[in-house]
């Protein structure tokens, strides 16, 4: 558990995409240290992104050029946060039990 609030840079970055449609003050980011769905899998159950251990960063707004895919994964997971707050459950949001089947489905959708 490395749960943290959004950084000020992340708020600026995300505001350019999501505007006022998500509650930045209430949001946190955590790490998926359970290896659910594989070591490289990031998941967002119930509106909280759990970034894979391989993609965990302290600030997704400050990245080296080669980390753009990691930033892309973060923004992808924030889209699931948007879904959570707007009543469109993500695949994972449907299952707080985090069944392996559901996690594998999520992995398949985000492996490119
Ligand atoms: Zn996804």
**Residue 30 bridge partners (DSSP):** 50
Q: How far is the CA of 43 from the centre of ligand 1 (A)?
A: 7
Say how many Å lie between the first and final Cα of the chain, rounded: 26
Residue 105 pLDDT: 42
Q: What residues flank ion ligand 1 with Cβ within 5 A?
A: 110
Listed by start position, the domains of the chain span 4-109
77 burial type by CB count under 10 A (0-12 exposed, 13-18 middle, 19+ buried): buried
- pLDDT bucket at 74, cuts 50 / 70 / 90: very high
Q: Is the pLDDT of residue 97 over 50?
A: no
Q: What strands lie across the sheet with 4-5, from one edge to the other?
A: 4-5, 28-32, 50-52
- Rounded CA separation 20/57 (Å): 24
Q: How far is the CA of 65 from the centre of ligand 1 (A)?
A: 23
Q: How far is the CA of 109 from the centre of ligand 1 (A)?
A: 6
Tokens standing for residue 5: 């609030």
């Amino acid at each position: 558990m490395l749960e943290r609030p959004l950084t000020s840079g992340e708020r600026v970055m995300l505001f350019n995409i999501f505007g006022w449609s998500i509650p930045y003050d209430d949001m946190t980011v955590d790490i998926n240290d359970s290896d659910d769905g594989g070591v490289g899998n990031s998941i967002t159950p119930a509106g909280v992104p759990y970034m894979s251990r391989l993609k965990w960063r302290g600030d997704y707004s400050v990245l080296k050029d080669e980390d753009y895919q990691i930033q892309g994964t973060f923004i992808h997971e924030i889209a699931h946060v948007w879904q959570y707050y707007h009543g469109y459950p993500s695949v994972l949001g449907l299952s707080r039990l985090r069944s392996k089947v559901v996690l594998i489905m999520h992995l398949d959708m985000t492996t490119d």
